[in-house]
Amino acid sequence: MAPKLLIDPREFDLERLAYDLDAIRAENPHRFEMEQLSGVLRIDRETQSIVGFRRYGPDEFWARGHIPGRPLLPGVLMVEAAAQLGTFYNKIVHPEKQGFWALAGIDAVRFRGSVAPGEALLIADVMREVRSRLMRFDFQGFVGEKLIVEGTITGMLT
């Protein structure tokens, strides 16, 4: 049975940014190879959701060696992108929660496809739970209309 989609990926235009890379950098500490977001397309406080994306180019640090002749984005970087998106959501929606959001857990992650250089991963995070030092998001990632990855991320304020 196909999973219920958190968003309809056809609704999003990667050129219509709500927050650009500079805005993301103002909130998230990740830099260089570990920046896994290119832009944020929507934050919806009512549904406690955020949608963002990462464009992957041919010169990505992983493209040469994972896998030669058929480069594939490592799954752990897909999860990292979703985690960074959740961090950005919390920094914008819960600015009173100061500190560093660290990845504390991942659950029920399933990979259903791949991401190659030249493609963009569209990511949706929906808040499941937020406490004083914990956040939990369900997430899904898409290439075009195809669901590529899904799971649950837990972050902890350190």
What type of residue sits at position 35?
E
CB atoms within 10 A of CB 107: 10
**19 vs 28: CA distance, rounded Å:** 12
Res 2: pLDDT = 80
Please indicate whether residue 66 is annotated as part of the active site: yes
**140 vs 121: CA distance, rounded Å:** 10
**112 vs 5: CA distance, rounded Å:** 13
Res 98: pLDDT = 81
User: With 90 as the cut, is the pLDDT of residue 71 above it?
Assistant: yes
- Domains of the chain and any CATH numbers: 15-157 (3.10.129.10)
On whether the CB atoms of residues 2 and 27 are closer than 8 A, the answer is no
When pLDDT is averaged across residues 107-115 and rounded to a whole number, the result is 98
Tens of pLDDT, residues 3-54 = 999 999 999 999 999 999 999 999 999 999 999 999 999 999 999 999 999 9
When pLDDT is averaged across residues 51-68 and rounded to a whole number, the result is 95
User: With 80 as the cut, is the pLDDT of residue 1 above it?
Assistant: no
| Residue-averaged pLDDT of the chain | 96
Res 132: pLDDT = 86
Residue in 42, 55, 66, 97 annotated catalytic? 66
On whether the CB atoms of residues 101 and 90 are closer than 8 A, the answer is yes
Tens of pLDDT, residues 112-148 = 999 999 999 999 999 999 888 999 999 999 999 999 9
When pLDDT is averaged across residues 107-111 and rounded to a whole number, the result is 98
Res 97: pLDDT = 84
